[in-house]
């Protein structure tokens, strides 16, 4: 049981690493929380600091989920990889290292799927980029990616995967509630780099 607690704590701390804050402050001298949406995720980094910084933050946020999901294997524990991943996503949304103001759960959730179900990750990623290419809305594409993940998980039939995908998708829907309102009001910004 002690190992379970250690995995949970480490997963949360991994998720709490504020990639956007680190990249912004170290390489650009900018606190991205003071710009754009004020969010620490990849989307606000793209808008505030550009494509290179946005890609770096997005990849780092994905890897947080992947590394967290691998912790049970690292410790030789039967703690479920997906459960560890959930705690990383919670850390990403509410990071202890950044005043509990974090990202919107998308990239780190994707990183969890990358570790546990890589084919699913690629399908969800494809759905995201197809939607982004058509709509130019990152938020809508993130939501559609979550819906794609839900559909895939039910087709796959893996019960732990279904449960965790529903949890992660609910995080994504909840964190994008303001974006949904802006899309409906036609005030949501579109990407300019695609």
Does residue 193 lie within any of the structural domains?
no
Does residue 194 lie within any of the structural domains?
no
- In percent, the amount of the chain with pLDDT more than 90 equals 79
Number of domains in the chain: 1
Does residue 191 lie within any of the structural domains?
no
Does residue 16 lie within any of the structural domains?
yes
Does residue 14 lie within any of the structural domains?
yes
Segment 99-128 shows an average pLDDT of 95
- Report helix angle 81-93 to 106-116, nearest 10: 170
Q: What is the pLDDT of residues 1-13, one digit of tens each?
A: 799 999 999 999 9
Does residue 49 lie within any of the structural domains?
yes
Does residue 18 lie within any of the structural domains?
yes
Does residue 192 lie within any of the structural domains?
no
Residues spanned by the domain of 59:
2-184
């Amino acid at each position: 049981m002690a190992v379970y607690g250690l995995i949970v704590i480490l997963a949360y701390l991994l998720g709490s690493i504020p990639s956007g804050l680190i990249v912004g402050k170290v390489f650009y001298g900018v606190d991205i929380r003071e710009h754009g949406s004020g969010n620490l995720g990849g989307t606000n980094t793209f808008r505030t600091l550009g494509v290179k910084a946005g890609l770096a933050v997005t990849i780092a946020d994905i890897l947080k989920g992947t590394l967290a999901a691998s912790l049970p294997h690292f410790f030789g524990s039967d703690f479920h990889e997906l459960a560890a991943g959930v705690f990383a996503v919670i850390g990403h949304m509410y990071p202890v290292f950044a005043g509990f103001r974090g990202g919107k759960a998308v990239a780190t959730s994707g990183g969890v799927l990358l570790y546990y179900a890589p084919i699913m990750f690629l399908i969800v990623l494809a759905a995201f980029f197809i939607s982004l290419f058509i709509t130019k809305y990152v938020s809508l594409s993130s939501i559609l990616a979550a819906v794609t993940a839900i559909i895939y998980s039910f087709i796959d039939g893996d019960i732990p995967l279904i449960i965790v995908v529903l949890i992660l998708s609910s995080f994504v829907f909840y964190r994008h509630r303001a974006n949904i309102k802006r899309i409906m009001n036609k005030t949501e910004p579109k990407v300019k780099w695609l």
